[in-house]
Each structure stands twice: as structure tokens, then as C-alpha cells.
Structure 1
Amino acid sequence: MIGRWGRYVVAAYKPTFHLPFMIFWAVGLTALFACVTGGVQRWRPDLGLALTAGTLVIDMLLLRALDDIRDQDYDREHNPGRPLPSGVVSERDLVALVGSGIALLLLLNAGREVVLLALAGQLGYAVLVIALDRYAGWPPGDRLVLHLAVNLPIQTLLSLYVYAAFLRAEQQRVSVVGLMAVVAVTFGALCLEFGRKATRRPRPGERTYATVFGPSVTSAAAFASAAIATAIVLVALRPWQPDAAGYGWGWLVLAPLALPAVAAVRFASGATRWPVAPTLAYIPVMYASFLAVGWLTKGASV
């Protein structure tokens, strides 16, 4: 079974992409929390953050496996090369992977009190959503907007786990600006969600928001999500205000917005789909901008 797990990881969870993606999520978001939280004077990554990043890496692998369990009937017809319908792994293999992974993550975070509760809540919600979809058929597969509403909190809860780990490490309390950062990155995730499904000519059987909203509205929603995320972060950082931690350097968070802007312009110019490269790059670049601002404002003087 371990060999099949390994082949699954190579096929469905390419480390060269997902490792930096998840590490930037953990470190970049934590840096943003450090920058907007007034009680934090100095910040540096530590072993606790390494544990948080490692948890995100494994957590996303489990979410990938849960998605494959849920989508196996659809993939059998439309994506037969996926690991589950192609026979690389069985559903039993993936269920065992998810169960073992959850146990490992809870064990790794066992001594972190509220952080453990945040993680358990996120994992429990994710398993419940996938189980309802796979075994009860809810929400129906053609209800894309309802699917989005049900699935999006999984990523929000994962960001709240990162926030809980930050608060514990820095001995801080929940703040409005910290929660604003969580809301902002949730909107950032919506940019990727809409952008990767913006197309003028859906493939046979493809599930895409373009069939619900139309290509232009889907593209506009993708860019608007990124713009809203950027606006919220700017309000939290207040780079125009001299006494704010993000003064001056906070404007760097505007840079990632160029990626969805380029994609939207190219799509409006007639591209069949949103360009893949800027769509996939936007999220890690967004988190990298948070890391840059946090390092330059709260880390450079240590």
C-alpha cells in the first residue's frame, strides 16, 4: 500500500509545485499576521512555523485524496487518466491514506491546545463535506455555486489554523485585522477558483462557472476576487499611514495583482481559457508579497 501511496503522490500531488505553494501559504500568511498585529514588535520564522507549514503540506495532500474519492465517478468518464479511475490506487487506499494522515496531523499538533482544535475542526469539516457529496450525493454535481459555498470554508478554516498557530506562538489575542487577513486570502483563493474555470469553450462534460455565469462574468469574478483581496490587505496594512507597521513597504502587496490582470486582459482579447501560468502563480506570489512586507517591517531589525 505504501508503494501505491507513493505513486499517487507523484501523480496527483507533485511536490515540486505543492511543497512551495503550501510553505508560502503558511510562512507568508504568518508574516502578514505579524505585520498587522500591533503587539508583535519582531518576527522570525521558528520551529513552530515549520510544524505549521508541514501540517499544511500534509493537509492539502489529504484534501487532494478526498477530492479524488468524491470525483471518481466524474473522473471515470471525463478524466480516466486520474490515479483512481486508472487504477494507480483504490478508494480503500485513499481512505487509509486520509485516516493515517489525519491521525499523524493530530499527533503532531497534540501539544498546541487551541491550534489542535482549529485543525481538528478543519479536518472534520472537510471529511464531512466530501462524505456527504460522495455517499449522499449532496450537493448535486451540477450545482457549482452551491459546491463553492460548501467547499470554500475548508480553505478558510485552514487559514484560521495558521492564525491560531501564530496567536499561540506570539501570545496574542484574536484581532479584527488578523481576521481581515483571513478574509483576504479567502478572496485570493476565489481568484484561482474562478480563473482556472474561465473558458469560452468548455470541454464535453466539463464543470465550469462559465456555463452558469458566462465567460466574461467568470473572468471578471476572478479578477475582482484578487482585487478585493488586495484591497482588504491594504486596509489592514495601511501603508499610507506613517505610524502603521506596513507604512511604505505595504504597497508591495499590489504587485501580485498584475498576474490576474494580465490573465483577464488576455482572456478579454480572445483567449479560449484564462492563461495557466499567471493563474497558478498568483496565490504563491501573493503570499510571497506578504512575506516580503512582514520581513521588511517586523523582521529586518532583529
Structure 2
Amino acid sequence: MIRRWGRYVGAAYRPAVQIPYTVSWAVGLTALFATVTAGVARWRPGVDLLVTTVTLMVTMLLIRALDDLRDLEYDRALNPGRPLPSGLVRPGDLYTLVAVGGVLLLALNAGRGVALVALVVQMVYTAAVIVAELVGGWPAPDRIGLQAAVNLPILSMLSLYVYAGFLRAEHVRPSAAGFVAVAAVTLGALAVEFGRKTSRRPRPGERTYATILGAAGTSAAGLAAAVLATTAVVVMVAPWRPGAAWGWLVLAPLALPVISAGRFAAGDNRWPALPTIAYVPAMYGSFLVVGWLTKGALG
């Protein structure tokens, strides 16, 4: 089973992609919290952030496994090369991986107070969503809009977990700015979700928001989500204030969804993969740079 797990991680989790993504999420979002929290004069990554980062890595692997279990029938029809339908790994292997990983996460976060509570709430919610679909068939696979509405809170809960870890490490109280930051990065993730599922000519049986919003509407929704996310961050960082000019850097990643939407408007069948997928890591990277320049070693 260990060997099958290893093959599964390499094929489905893709560490070369997922590890940089999760590290940027944990570190970049924490840097944004530091930037917008008045009670933090200096920010340094520490052990608490390391625990948060490892937790996100493991959690995203477990969510990937649960998604593969949930999408098995869909993948058999449209993606037979994926690990489960191809036989690279067995359903029992993934259920065991989720159980072992869940215990590891709880042990890693023992004693972290509200951060542990936030993690448990996310784990229970995710498990409930998966069970509801596997056992009760809800939401129906073709209800892609409802699927998104049910699944998106998982990302918000993980960002709230990052926030709880930041508050604990810095010994500060929660603020409205922190919750706005969570909402902003959730919108950023939604932009990529729309962008990845924007298509003029979907494959037979493909799940795409174009069936609800139309191809142009889906592209516009993705771009609008990115614009709203960026606007919220700019307002919080307030780069027009004296000494906060570095905050304008958070505008730079918006160029990626603008390029993607522009290419689509020019006639491409889909949003181009590279700028679409790169948007969220670039967004978090800009937060890290701004946080480091304003409240880190160079601040």
C-alpha cells in the first residue's frame, strides 16, 4: 500500500505543483494578515507557520484523495487515465490514506487552541460533503453551480485556519481586516475555478460553468472575481498612505487573469492553462513581498 500511495502522490497530487502552491498560500496569506493587522509591528515566520504550512500540504492531499473517490465514475468516463480508474491505486488505499492523514493532522495541531478547532470544523465539513455525495448523491454531479457553492467554503475554512494560526503566533485579536482578507483570497480561488472551467466547446459530458452562465459569462465571472479580490486587498493595504507604497505590488498578479480573459475573448477555446493556474500563487507571492517589505526584515 505504501508504494501505491507513493505512486498516487506523484500522479495525482503532483508535489512539484502542489507544494509551492500550498507554501505560498500559508506564507503569503500570513504575510497579508501581518500587513493589515495594526497590532503587528514586525513579522517573522516561525514554528507556528511551519505547522500551518505542513497542515495545509497534508490537508490538500487528503482533499485530492476524497475528490478522486467522489469523481470515480466521472473519471471512468472522461479521464480513464487518472490513478483510480486506471488501477494505479485502489479505493481502499485512499480511504486508509485519509484516515491516517486525519489522525496525523490532529496530532500535529494538538494544543493549538482555536486553530485546532478551525481545522476540525473544516475536516468535519469536508467529510460531510463527501459522504452526502457518495451516499446520498447530493449535490447531483451535473449541478455544477451547487457543487461550487458547497465546496468553496472548504477553502475559506482553511484560510480561517491559517488566520487562527497567525493570531495565536502574534498574540493579537481578530479584526475585520483579517476576515476581509479571507474573503478576498476565496474570491481569488473562485476566479481560477471559473477560468479552468471556461470553454466554448466542452467535451461531451464535461462539467463546465458555461452550461449555466454561457462561455462569455463564465469568463467574465472569473475576471470579475479576480478584480474584486484585488480591489479588496488594495483597500485593506491602502498603498496611498505614507510608507505603504509597496502595497501597489498586489495589483501585479491581476495581469494574469486579464491575459487569460483577453486570450479567450480573442477566440481561444479555453482560458490558457499557465496564466490561469499561476494567478493564485502569484497573488500570494505578492502578499509575501509586500508583507516582507512593510513589516518584515526590510520594513
User: CA offsets, 1:151-202, max 9 Å, x none?
Assistant: 0000000000000000000011110000010000000000110000001000
**Stretches of structure 1 lacking an aligned partner (at least 5 in a row):** none
| Structure 1 letter corresponding to 2:296 | G
Q: Residue 190 of structure 1 corresponds to which residue in structure 2?
A: 190
Q: Is the 8 A contact 1:42 1:301 kept in 2?
A: no
Residues of 1 paired with 2:169 and 2:45: CA distance?
10
Q: Residue 281 of structure 1 corresponds to which residue in structure 2?
A: 278
Q: Residue 269 of structure 2 corresponds to which residue in structure 1?
A: 272
Residues of 1 paired with 2:211 and 2:87: CA distance?
31
Residues of 1 paired with 2:255 and 2:63: CA distance?
29
| Structure 2 letter corresponding to 1:126 | T
Sequence identity percentage: 61
1:256 lines up with 2:250 in the alignment: no
| Structure 1 letter corresponding to 2:264 | F
Residues of 2 paired with 1:147 and 1:130: CA distance?
11
Q: Is the 8 A contact 2:69 2:91 kept in 1?
A: yes
C-alpha deviation, 1:89, in angstroms:
1.1
Could you say what secondary structure the match of 1:40 adopts?
coil
User: CA offsets, 1:2-24, max 9 Å, x none?
Assistant: 11111100110111000000000
C-alpha deviation, 1:237, in angstroms:
0.7
1:7 lines up with 2:4 in the alignment: no
Residues of 2 paired with 1:116 and 1:106: CA distance?
7
Q: Residue 234 of structure 1 corresponds to which residue in structure 2?
A: 234
Q: Residue 180 of structure 1 corresponds to which residue in structure 2?
A: 180
Question: CA RMSD of the aligned region, Å?
Answer: 0.9
Q: Residue 85 of structure 2 corresponds to which residue in structure 1?
A: 85
Q: Is the 8 A contact 1:13 1:64 kept in 2?
A: yes
**Stretches of structure 2 lacking an aligned partner (at least 5 in a row):** none
Q: Is the 8 A contact 1:196 1:276 kept in 2?
A: yes
Residues of 1 paired with 2:3 and 2:124: CA distance?
27
C-alpha deviation, 1:301, in angstroms:
4.3
Q: Residue 127 of structure 1 corresponds to which residue in structure 2?
A: 127
1:293 lines up with 2:281 in the alignment: no
TM-score calculated relative to the size of structure 2: 0.99
- What is the number of residues matched between the two proteins? 299
1:50 lines up with 2:50 in the alignment: yes
Could you say what secondary structure the match of 2:141 adopts?
coil
Listed as ranges, the matches of 1:92-171 within 5 Å are 92-171=92-171
Q: Residue 31 of structure 1 corresponds to which residue in structure 2?
A: 31
Could you say what secondary structure the match of 1:51 adopts?
helix
Residues of 2 paired with 1:149 and 1:105: CA distance?
26
C-alpha deviation, 1:300, in angstroms:
2.6
User: CA offsets, 1:44-70, max 9 Å, x none?
Assistant: 111211111111011000000000010
Moved runs in structure 1, 4+ residues, more than 6 A?
none
Q: Is the 8 A contact 1:11 1:83 kept in 2?
A: yes
User: CA offsets, 1:58-100, max 9 Å, x none?
Assistant: 1000000000010001111111111111111111110100011
| Structure 2 letter corresponding to 1:97 | L
